[in-house]
Structure formats: structure tokens, C-alpha cells
């Protein structure tokens, strides 16, 4: 693997004063070749670290004058310097296998690396975890981690992962918990495979063997039109309702035994079952917000002015490492060269672009303004965009492509503002590689949280006159 490269240096930082420049390759720190940005951080955290750099065809050594614990001020190009530990499972529900050809290469990388779990919240199955990995996690306190459980039945888990190590790798989960590492789990529920009685067995197994887990999220199988797995099929409404019933029952058991709910259902289940979301308090701080658990309720609360609720992508465990590259949840939604035209001054009307599920969430939240207009007198519309690119059951806003958004905009009025949530973008481009400037109409990109949406609409995040329940019961 090539040496990590310095991609930016903070002005007036110790790195800048030492003469480190963007483009320098990091050869070693204190004579050691760091394996990843975590080890890099520990090494440069010391006072006056000595770095060997490669600049063009020559190597140079610099000593960075700084106190122990002070930030170096240099961001490097990758999180893992040696080699990303790729996934050797072959899960039939894996979304990467459901991607069409010709997309960005990075989208096809299957990682099962505990370091990326710690840095960015990626879920790992632990099938490639080792004793040395456990020693490092415990010694360096790499916490929290995120683990894909799927089933606590060894035979079923191995079958779902298509990997015999799936039957035994949860022993590492027990070891991590015993060492005091905070772990969040998830179960991808596949209809006819690990739902029903199998899901009950999994929940019983979690409560029996891993009650110290911080949280467990039940998320539905995502199925695109490119899936070639005949056993994979969408949830029916009745199956979604059954999952929610299971969650409710096990939450009650966990509350009695542990004093907390432990297990939560992804927002998609409530949409599929046409049931109201739990209250904000029932999400217990939204610990799996970025896994689609409680996003709708958090957006509603933030839109009404409650700044205590989760608001989109949050810093935390994936941003504490000084110098870690912006990737995963920290990836910049807008790149430096992204063109974001300003609002159209010719009309006060505003159209909010969103996915099908996003429209179902936003419709009740925005109902007073959809019916009566915005405070400034303009008309408000929602534009749900069907995901023809992926097809299948894919209806979340974050998987919209430029082609589908462009097609939807072709039929919109020529005047008025168009608001696009930034969750559709990474570095200013959509999943299919289309840039913002290629859309047929200029759009305004808005951060994907309720507070930002309220401000963009001129509402200012003030509490709604009448609280609106996020529910599809009336639809």
C-alpha cells in the first residue's frame, strides 16, 4: 500500500510551523511505520514527534515542536495505512452485491475492519477478528464498536453470512463486552430467513448472552432490482407489523430486567407498517440515529425548535482522532468545487425534493405549511422522487441518484426554489456520479436535519402551533 499522504495542514498549527506541506507522504513517526490513523494519532500525540516525510524524490525529517496532547494539525489521506481488512462473507442480503456495474470503485469495497467500525461506525461481523485485534482494542480502548449480529443461532448465522466462521465469531462480542468495550449491534431482518420465531430466538439469545450491549437495531432488508438472490424478498406490511410487535415485547422485557429498552426498530418499519413513530424520549438519546433509527422523530423535534434532539450527522466517536480523513459519516456532503446556485428570486414558492419514504416523514411535519403556505406567503410543495435507478424496495432519500432527481425536475415549474437534502451527495456528486451542475434546474442544498430545513423555509425552527404526530395512520 502507498504511504499515507498529507492532504491538508491547518494554518499556524504545529505541523505548519514545522514546514509540513500538503502532498507530503508520511514514511514514519518516531521511527515506526503506523498501520492506521489511530496509531498515527497515538504517535503524534507525544511532545515534539519526529516525522520522516517523502516530498517528491527526496526524504526529509522534521521535528514538530508541540506539547503532548496538542493537535498536530495535519490531515492524512486514508484511515488505514496497511490494508483495509475486506469482508470474506458472502451474505445474500449484502447491498454491495446489488449494485450495478460502472459506479464509483469505492462503493464496491466490502470492509469488515474493526478500525473502521471504531472510526466511522461501520458494522463488522467479527469473522476476521483475532486475538491480536482484541488485545489492541482493549489496550487502546477503541470504543464504541458496531457489530452485525443477524442471528444468535450459530447455524443460521453461518448460513446467512455464507461463512462457517459466522457460527463462532460472536465469541469475540462476548470478549469485547467482558473487557468493558461499548458495543452497538444490528440485525438485518430478512423475511422468511431470520424473522418470526428465528427473530424471537435471536432476541432471547441477545438478552441471555449479551445483555450489556448498548443498543440493538433491527433494520429491514434493502432490496434493489439488481439482486440475484431468489430467497430475498420484500417485507409485507404484516411482516413489518410483526417485527414491531417483537420490538415492543422485548423492549418491555428489557426495561424490566435492564432498566432500558435495548432494542429499537428502524424508521422504515413504522413506514411499512403505517404506524406512528415512538416518542423522542423512547429513543433514549438516539444512539443509532445514523443507522436510521429515530431519524424521523429527531427531524420533527428539531424542526419544531428542539435542539436537544439528534440533528443529522453528528460528531463523536468517528471524529475524535486528530488527522482522520473525512470519510464514512464524516464525508463532506459538498466538495470544494461543488456549485450550489442561490435561490430563485422570481418566486416565493419552495419545493422540497425527497425520497418516497422522506415524503411520508415530511408530509405530516410540514402539513400546516403545505396547506396554508409559508410565513412569507410562498407556496410549499413536496417532490417525492421514485428511485428507478435501484428499484426494488429502495425508497430512502440518501440513495437517490442524480438521474432520478433530474428526471423529476424536468416536470417542475420553471420558477421557485428547489431544496435538495445533502444526504444525497458525497463530495458534491450523487451516487451515480452526476454533479449538481448537471441537474436541469439549479437547486439549494440543505443539511439533512429539521433545524436546517426550518431555516431554509424561513420558519426559523420555532415550535409548531400545534404539535404534529409523525404518523401515517390518516393516510
Q: What is the mean pLDDT of residues 133-148?
A: 94
Q: What is the mean pLDDT of residues 398-402?
A: 91
CATH topology for 6-76 is Pdz3 Domain (2.30.42)
Bigger pLDDT: 405 or 325? 405
Q: What is the mean pLDDT of residues 325-333?
A: 52
Question: For residue 316, what pLDDT is reported?
Answer: 37
The string of pLDDT tens digits covering residues 86-124 is: 888 999 888 888 888 877 666 777 788 898 888 888 899
Q: What is the dihedral of CA 196, 202, 206, 208, to 10 degrees?
A: 100
- Percentages helix, strand, coil for the chain (3-state, rounded to 5) are 35, 15, 50
Question: For residue 11, what pLDDT is reported?
Answer: 93
Question: For residue 63, what pLDDT is reported?
Answer: 96
Rounded Cα distance, 349 and 463, in Å:
22
The chain-wide mean pLDDT, for the chain, equals 86
Contacts of 452 (CB under 8 A, 6+ apart): 311, 312, 446
Rounded Cα distance, 36 and 110, in Å:
18
Backbone angles phi, psi at 384, to 5 degrees: -75, 130
pLDDT band at 250 (very low <50, low <70, confident <90, very high): very high
Bigger pLDDT: 462 or 120? 120
Structural domain spans, the chain: 6-76, 96-265, 319-475
Question: For residue 241, what pLDDT is reported?
Answer: 98
Residue 145 belongs to what H/E stretch? strand 145-148
User: DSSP code of 36?
Assistant: B
Rounded Cα distance, 403 and 250, in Å:
42
Percent of the chain with pLDDT over 90: 57
Half-sphere exposure of 166 (CA within 13 A, CB side): 25
Question: For residue 325, what pLDDT is reported?
Answer: 53
User: What's the grid cell of residue 74?
Assistant: 495535519
Rounded Cα distance, 231 and 223, in Å:
11
Question: For residue 472, what pLDDT is reported?
Answer: 37
Question: For residue 107, what pLDDT is reported?
Answer: 72
Question: For residue 433, what pLDDT is reported?
Answer: 87
pLDDT band at 318 (very low <50, low <70, confident <90, very high): very low
Question: For residue 459, what pLDDT is reported?
Answer: 85
pLDDT band at 469 (very low <50, low <70, confident <90, very high): very low
Q: What is the mean pLDDT of residues 132-142?
A: 94
CATH topology for 96-265 is TIM Barrel (3.20.20)
pLDDT band at 331 (very low <50, low <70, confident <90, very high): low
Q: What is the mean pLDDT of residues 270-286?
A: 94
Instruction: State which of 33-42, 84-93, 253-262, 348-357 shows the largest mean pLDDT.
Output: 253-262
Question: For residue 204, what pLDDT is reported?
Answer: 97
Under a CB-based contact definition with an 8 Å cutoff, are residues 229 and 92 in contact? yes
Is residue 338's pLDDT more than 50? no
Question: For residue 342, what pLDDT is reported?
Answer: 47
Question: For residue 333, what pLDDT is reported?
Answer: 61
Is residue 197's pLDDT more than 80? yes
User: Where is average pLDDT lowest: 81-95, 138-152, 168-182, 245-259?
Assistant: 81-95
Bigger pLDDT: 311 or 169? 169
Question: For residue 102, what pLDDT is reported?
Answer: 73
Bigger pLDDT: 255 or 97? 255
Across 104-135, b (16+ Cβ under 10 Å) vs e yields: eeeeeeebbbbbbbbbbbbbbbbbbbeeebbe
The string of pLDDT tens digits covering residues 378-391 is: 899 999 999 999 99
Is residue 308's pLDDT more than 80? no
Amino acid at each position: 500500500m502507498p504511504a499515507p499522504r498529507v492532504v491538508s495542514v491547518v494554518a499556524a498549527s504545529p505541523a505548519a510551523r514545522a514546514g509540513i506541506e500538503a502532498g507530503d507522504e508520511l514514511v514514519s513517526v518516531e521511527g515506526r511505520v503506523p498501520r492506521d490513523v489511530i496509531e498515527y494519532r497515538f504517535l503524534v500525540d507525544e511532545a515534539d514527534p519526529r516525522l520522516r516525510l517523502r516530498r517528491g524524490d527526496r526524504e526529509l525529517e522534521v521535528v514538530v515542536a508541540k506539547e503532548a496532547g496538542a493537535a498536530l494539525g495535519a490531515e492524512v489521506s486514508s484511515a488505514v495505512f496497511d490494508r483495509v481488512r475486506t469482508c470474506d462473507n458472502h451474505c445474500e442480503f449484502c447491498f454491495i452485491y446489488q449494485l450495478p456495474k460502472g459506479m464509483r470503485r469505492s462503493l464496491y469495497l466490502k470492509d469488515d475492519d474493526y478500525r473502521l467500525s471504531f472510526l466511522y461506525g461501520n458494522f463488522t461481523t467479527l469473522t476476521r477478528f483475532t486475538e491480536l485485534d482484541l488485545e489492541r482494542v482493549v489496550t487502546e480502548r477503541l470504543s464504541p464498536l458496531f457489530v452485525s449480529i443477524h442471528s444468535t443461532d450459530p447455524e443460521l448465522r453461518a448460513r446467512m453470512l455464507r461463512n462457517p466462521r459466522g457460527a463462532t465469531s460472536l465469541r469475540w462480542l462476548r470478549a469485547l463486552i467482558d473487557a468493558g468495550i461499548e458495543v452497538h449491534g444490528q440485525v438485518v431482518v430478512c423475511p422468511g430467513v431470520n424473522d418470526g420465531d428465528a427473530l424471537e430466538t435471536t432476541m432471547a439469545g441477545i438478552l441471555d448472552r449479551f445483555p450489556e450491549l448498548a443498543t440493538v437495531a433491527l433494520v429491514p432488508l434493502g432490496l434493489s432490482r439488481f439482486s440475484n438472490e431468489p430467497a430475498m424478498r420484500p417485507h409485507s406490511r404484516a411482516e413489518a407489523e410483526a417485527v414491531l410487535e417483537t420490538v415492543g415485547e422485548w423492549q418491555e422485557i428489557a426495561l424490566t430486567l435492564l432498566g432500558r429498552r435495548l432494542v429499537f426498530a428502524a424508521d422504515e418499519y413504522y413506514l411499512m407498517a403505517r404506524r406512528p413513530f415512538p416518542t423522542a424520549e423512547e429513543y433514549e438519546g438516539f444512539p443509532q440515529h445514523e443507522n436510521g433509527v429515530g431519524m424521523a422523530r429527531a427531524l420533527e423535534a428539531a424542526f419544531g425548535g428542539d435542539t436537544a434532539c439528534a440533528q443529522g450527522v453528528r460528531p463523536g466517536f468517528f471524529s475524535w482522532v486528530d488527522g482522520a480523513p473525512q470519510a464514512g459519516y464524516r464525508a463532506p456532503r459538498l466538495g470544494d468545487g461543488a456549485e450550489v446556485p442561490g435561490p430563485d428570486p422570481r418566486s416565493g414558492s419552495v419545493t422540497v425534493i425527497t425520497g418516497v419514504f422522506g415524503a411520508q416523514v415530511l408530509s405530516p411535519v410540514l402539513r400546516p405549511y403545505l396547506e396554508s403556505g409559508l410565513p412569507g406567503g410562498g407556496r410549499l410543495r413536496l417532490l417525492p422522487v421514485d428511485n428507478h435507478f435501484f428499484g426494488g424496495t429502495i425508497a430512502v432519500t440518501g440513495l437517490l441518484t442524480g438521474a432520478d432527481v433530474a428526471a423529476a425536475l424536468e416536470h417542475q415549474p420553471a420558477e421557485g426554489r428547489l431544496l435538495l437534502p445533502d444526504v444525497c451527495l458525497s463530495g458534491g456528486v450523487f451516487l451515480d456520479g452526476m454533479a449538481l451542475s448537471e441537474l436541469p434546474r439549479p437547486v439549494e442544498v440543505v443539511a439533512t436535519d429539521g433545524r436546517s430545513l426550518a431555516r431554509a423555509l424561513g420558519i426559523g425552527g420555532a415550535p409548531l402551533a400545534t404539535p404534529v404526530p409523525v404518523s401515517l395512520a390518516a393516510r
